[in-house]
Amino acid sequence: MKKNILYPIYILWLRQLKRYFRSKSRMIGSLGQPIVFLVALGFGFGPVFAKAGGGNYIQFLSPGIIAMSIMFTAVFSGIELIWDRQFGFLKETMVAPVSRMTIMFGRTLGGATTATIQGIIVFIITIIIGFRPDIFAILWGLLFMFGISIVFTAFGTAIASTMEDMQGFGLIVNLVNMPLFFLSGALFPLNTAPAAIQWIAFINPLSYGVDGLRGAFTGISLHSIGTDASVIAIITILFLSIGAWLFSKVEV
C-alpha cells in the first residue's frame, strides 16, 4: 500500500502545536528569562557599552536574546520526548506503521515551529523595549530564527533519545546551554574578546545563529549572512542526522 508520508509528519507537527498553544503557563513562563535579560542587561550595561564606543546596547543585545530564547525553548522541547516515553504516548507512535525517521522529523518540525513562535514573541517584546530592526530584513531574520530552532530541537531530541529521566536531561541541558549562550556573542562583541573565547565561539553553532540574526536585523555582523546561513544549514543536516540515528535506537 502506497502512503502519503507527509501526512503523518503533519499530524505529529500539529500535535506539538496544539500542546504548545494549550499550555499558556509554559508559553508565558518562558518569556520571563528573556525579559529579565533584556531589561537588566540592556538598561544596566547600556551606558557602559555606549561609552566604550559600542553604540546602542539594546540594538546589539536584542538579536542575542531572541536567539537565546529560541535555543532554550528548542532544546527543552526534547523533554517532551521523555514525557511521551514515560507516559506511554511514544509507544503509540512507535507501533504505528510509520518509520522512525518520519516520527523524528515530525516531532522536530513541531518543536522547531513552537521555538520559532517563541522567538517571534520575544522579537515583538524587544521592539517594545526599544529595538529598531531593519524591517526589510525580516524574512532573513525569520529564516535564521527557524534555522536556530531546527538545529537545537534536533540537538534536544538527540540528548533526550539517550536519556531515561528528566533530571538527567535537565542537568545535561543546563551544562550545555549556558556555555553555548554566554560564549556565542549574544551578550558582548566577539571581535574584541580574548582569543580563547573567540575559538570557542568559532565552534559554537549558536554564534552563527546570533551573528546571522544580528546581521539580518542591524546590518552589523562578524561573518557575512551567506556564511552564517551556510554554517547553520550544514549544522542542521548534521544534527538532524545524529538525532535521527539516536532516535532510531530508542527502545520502548
Instruction: Give the nearest distance from C-beta 228 to another protein in angstroms.
Output: 36
Nearest approach in angstroms of CB 13 to another protein is 11
Tell me if residue 198 falls in helix, strand or coil: helix
Q: Which range in 8-16, 46-54, 59-67, 118-126 contacts another protein by CB under 8 A?
A: 8-16
- Minimum CB–partner distance for residue 14 and another protein (Å): 8
165 binds another protein (CB under 8 A): yes
> What separation in angstroms does the CA of 149 have from each of 83, 110, 138, 209, 234?
20, 10, 16, 10, 14
Number of residues that bind another protein (CB under 8 A): 33
Q: What is the footprint of another protein within residues 50-109 (CB under 8 A)?
A: 84, 86-89, 91-99
Nearest to another protein of 134, 164 (CB atom): 164
User: Could you tell me if 60 and 45 are in contact, meaning their C-beta atoms sit under 8 angstroms apart?
Assistant: no
Q: How far is the CB of 73 from another protein (least distance, A)?
A: 17
Q: Which residue has the cell 542591524?
A: 218
State which residue, 41 or 79, has the beta carbon closest to another protein.
79
- 70 vs 82, beta carbon nearer another protein: 82
| DSSP string for residues in 113-146 | HHHHHHHHHHHHHHHHHT----GGGHHHHHHHHH
CB atoms within 10 A of CB 91: 12
Task: For cell 546561513, name the residue.
Answer: 229
* Choices 70-78, 111-119, 146-154, 159-167; region in contact with another protein by CB under 8 A: 159-167
**What is the rounded end-to-end Cα distance, in angstroms, of the chain?**
27
Distances (CA, A) of 168 to 86, 91, 107: 14, 21, 21
Nearest approach, Cβ of residue 12 and another protein (Å): 8
* Window 22 to 41, contacts with another protein (CB under 8 A): 22-23
Q: In the 8-state DSSP scheme, what is residue 41?
A: I
Half-sphere exposure (CA, 13 Å, Cβ side) for 35?
10
Q: Specify the residue, 12 or 41, whose C-beta has the smaller distance to another protein.
A: 12
**Residue 165 Cβ, how far from another protein at the closest point, in Å?**
5
Give contact residues for another protein (rule: CB under 8 A).
Answer: 1, 3-4, 7-8, 10-12, 14-15, 18-19, 22-23, 84, 86-89, 91-99, 164-166, 251-252
